[in-house]
Amino acid sequence: MFTEDWLPPDNRRGTPQYAYPDHRSQLHPGYSAPLHHPQSAPSGYFQYQHSFAYQPYSNYPETSYDQTSQYTYPMQVPAFWQKQAPEPYDDTTLKPSMKGDSTVIERLQLLLPAPPLAKAPLRPEPLTTMSPRRTKRKSKFTREQDQLILSLKRQGRSWVEIADITNVGSYLAARNRYQVIVGQQGSTNLSFSPESKQYLQKLLDAGELCKWDYIAQRLSRSTGKHFTSKACREYARFLLFSDPESLGVNQRTVQELEKEHEATDKLLKQAVLSSPQ
C-alpha cells in the first residue's frame, strides 16, 4: 500500500483546494464558499511589460470620410426588364482604321453609275490574244447527213427512224450527232458593237420602268389596294437605305462590285494604251 506521503501537498486528504469565488455568495450572504487564496505572479513577469500605453492605429494618417454620402445595403440592382440608360458614345475610342470605313450604301453609290443607264460609259471589250487553233478532225458524218438529222428532228421523227433514214448506225449515234450539231450552233460567240451596247442600255432603262409597273400591278391585285410604281420604288429605296440586308445587299455585294470596277478600269487603261496615237 502506498501512503499519502508521496502525493503533493495540495492533493493530500484534508488539504483545502483552491476555488474561484462563487456569485451565489453575493446573492445569499448566509452561503459560504471555500476560501480562495490568490497567488502572486512569478518573479520576472513584469520585466517583459512595456511602460507605455498603445494607441490604436497610431501609425496611420487620419482620413476624412464624407459623412453626407449615404449607402444602402443591399445594393439596389435593377431588374432584368428595366433597361438602363446607355453610356454616352465616345467616337474617340474608335480605332483609326474603323473611322475611315464608309457604309454599304455610300460605297454602292460610288461604284454604281447614276441612272439612267443609257448615260453610263461603255465598257470596252477585253483584248484577247489570238490563240493557235487546233487542227480540226475530219468528221465521219457528211454535211448532207447533218442537215437531214436536223430536218427529221424538226418533223418529230423518232431516233430509230432518223438513224435508219440517215444511215448513221444506231439511234444513239443519231442522237449524239444531233446534240453535237446543236451545241456547235449555239456556241457561236457574238461580240457586241458599241452601237449594240448603247441600244441594250436603253432597253434596260425601259425594262426597269416596266418592271416597277408590273410590281405595282401585282401588289395592287394581291392586296386590294391601289399602289403606283413610284410608291413602290420609293418604298424599295427606303428599305435599301434603312436595312440593306433585307434586299440581299451586304459586304459581299460591295466586294463583287469593286472587282468589276477594277476590271473596268483595267480595260479602259488598255484601250487607251492600244489606241493609235
Q: Indicate whether 208 belongs to any domain.
A: yes
Q: Indicate whether 94 belongs to any domain.
A: no
Residue 90 above 90 pLDDT? no
pLDDT of residue 111: 84
Residues 226, 254 within the same domain: no
Q: Indicate whether 202 belongs to any domain.
A: yes
pLDDT digits (tens, 9 = 90+) for 13-70: 555 555 555 555 555 555 555 555 555 555 555 555 555 555 555 554 555 545 554 5
Q: Rounded CA gap, 77 and 4, in Å?
A: 76
The predicted model scores a pTM of: 0.41
pLDDT digits (tens, 9 = 90+) for 116-170: 877 887 777 665 544 555 666 777 888 888 889 989 998 989 999 999 999 988 8
Domain that holds residue 151: 143-186
Residue 228 above 90 pLDDT? yes
**Phi and psi at residue 112, in whole multiples of 5°?**
-90, 145
Residue 224 above 90 pLDDT? yes
Higher pLDDT, 99 or 193: 193
Q: Indicate whether 261 belongs to any domain.
A: yes
Q: Rounded CA gap, 90 and 99, in Å?
A: 12
How far are the Cα atoms of 68, 122, 203, 205 from residue 200, in angstroms, in the given order?
Answer: 80, 11, 5, 9
Q: Indicate whether 266 belongs to any domain.
A: yes
Q: Indicate whether 23 belongs to any domain.
A: no
Q: Rounded CA gap, 144 and 150, in Å?
A: 10
In contact, 108 and 249? CB cutoff 8 Å: yes
Q: Indicate whether 45 belongs to any domain.
A: no
Q: Indicate whether 9 belongs to any domain.
A: no
Residues 232, 258 within the same domain: no
Overall number of domains in the chain? 3
H helical segments located in 115-167 = 143-154, 159-166
